[in-house]
Amino acid sequence: MDSSGGDVEYEPVGVKQVLAEMKDTAELLIDLSFSAVLNGSDDIAAEVLDLEARMDVLQMRARMSLLMAARTTDDAEQLAPVLGVVGAAEKISDAAGDVAKVVLEDIGLPDAMRAALPEAVETLVRAEVADDAALAGRTLGDSNIETETGVRVIAIHRRDDWITNPDRDTELLGGDTVLLRGPDEGIADVYRRATGDAYEPPEPPEPGIEDLERAVDSIVLMKNISELAVDLAYGSVLFDSKDVAEEVVELEAEVDALQSRFEAWTLRAAARVEDPVSLRGLVHLANATEVISDAAVEISEGVLRGLGTHPVVEQAVQESDEVIVRLTVAPGSEFDGVTLGDREVKTETGMRVIAVRRSQSGERDWVIQPGPETELRAGDVFLVKGTRSGAERLADLTGSEFASE
């Protein structure tokens, strides 16, 4: 696949395969682009632009395949929502590229962005595997990285190719660029085993202006909600669930509200910083994040309008490297009244709980990016993300089935 800007020619590749790859790439792009900002990493930002170029090729091939498939007016009606999914993934890719350029083009960003890192995401680091490294030539399952350290290899860049969401059978080779996510202590261990060098975390910045910190907190929350909205959007397609699609609309509205608050706090902060132009980067981030949440709604559009899910899209979501599953805590079950840390969901199944939704006083409340201290209660809906095999193990533990409410 040529992601370097060369000619793109039609290839007889299945639409399902291309859509699955677009889904995985879009989700990885969101993760990497904001990690580039929060880590101040030009290297990670450059990986984002490489992935964005790859997405451009994928969306072009998807459109070619869909045009070849549409022979009648009925075909056109059925495939129109599929084009919407393709277009939405492309918008997510473009927005992620805009976020990365904030780093690469040195558009103004306050130190408060890095100060938000510990509360925003786990540490994400780019490492190049040395030929003589301890991890070179071993599979992820054999090295047992995640179980021992809590660190996941979320993607591998190998020459001109990408392996998104590698599994336990994926082998690490000398020369691979690996993207690692996890706690600082684990990152230091895995980085050393991959490169042979010691990991040096960035120095934490000094506290800044209060209004500016509030603006940054808003962007971090917008990012988390937008990422969840994309996950739920693909979930609505998988389950052909209008209820899940409506959750996406609510989350998009929350992002809009957060952006309004962000604008107010940024304008207040501008009067108190020496160079207000240095805040341009924050405005770029907020705009890009809103684009991502809008794209999530577009992914759900066909479900929202009662058009159902085209089988090719549903199969692509099912067969992509990661799946999202919604489970409800039953009263009196072993998940009722325990914390995520107590149940060790991630350790037992490899699945990550990405959100918990509970109803209180007739209103829905979201816990975005819950931690080990988050308690599950009867009636809570929790959303988990990971491999299909991990989802099956979790379903066995909870006695649940893969289904939306």
Give the span between the Cα atoms of 265 and 270, in whole angstroms.
9
Strand partners, 375: 339
How many alpha carbons lie under 13 Å from residue 214 in its C-beta half-sphere? Answer: 16
CATH of 117-195 given 3.30.2130.30, 3.40.50.2300, 3.30.70.1450, 3.40.50.720: 3.30.70.1450
Higher pLDDT, 301 or 243: 301
Instruction: Report the 3 state secondary structure along 141-185.
Output: HHHCHHHHHCCEEEEEEECCEEEECCCCCCECCCCCEEEEEECHH
Residue 3's pLDDT is what? 47
pLDDT category of residue 14 using cuts at 50, 70 and 90? low
Give the span between the Cα atoms of 233 and 212, in whole angstroms.
31
| 322-398 topology per CATH | Alpha-Beta Plaits (3.30.70)
Residue 392's pLDDT is what? 74
Q: Residues spanned by CATH 1.20.58.220 within the chain?
A: 15-110+208-316
Q: Residues spanned by CATH 3.30.70.1450 within the chain?
A: 117-195, 322-398
**Which whole number is the average pLDDT over 44-49?**
92
**Which whole number is the average pLDDT over 354-383?**
78
Give the span between the Cα atoms of 48 and 45, in whole angstroms.
5
Strand partners, 328: 381
Higher pLDDT, 181 or 177: 177
Give the span between the Cα atoms of 179 and 46, in whole angstroms.
13
Whether the per-residue pLDDT at 195 is higher than 90: the answer is yes
Residue 2's pLDDT is what? 45
pLDDT for 89-148, tens place per residue? 999 999 999 999 988 988 867 666 655 544 444 678 899 999 999 999 999 989 888 888
Residue 238's pLDDT is what? 73
Average pLDDT, the chain: 80
Per the structure block, which two tokens stand in for 147?
A: 């179980």
Within 8 A by CB and 6+ apart from 289, the residues are 95, 219, 222, 223, 226, 255, 259
Residue 119's pLDDT is what? 47
Class of domain 15-110+208-316: mainly alpha
Give the span between the Cα atoms of 366 and 99, in whole angstroms.
25
Give the span between the Cα atoms of 186 and 150, in whole angstroms.
6
Give the span between the Cα atoms of 135 and 173, in whole angstroms.
8
Whether the per-residue pLDDT at 395 is higher than 60: the answer is yes
Whether the per-residue pLDDT at 397 is higher than 70: the answer is no
pLDDT for 222-274, tens place per residue? 888 898 899 888 878 777 778 788 889 989 998 998 888 888 888 888 877 77
Whether the per-residue pLDDT at 389 is higher than 80: the answer is no
pLDDT category of residue 215 using cuts at 50, 70 and 90? confident
pLDDT for 335-358, tens place per residue? 888 888 777 766 667 777 888 888
Exposed, middle or buried, 214 (CB in 10 Å: 0-12/13-18/19+)? middle
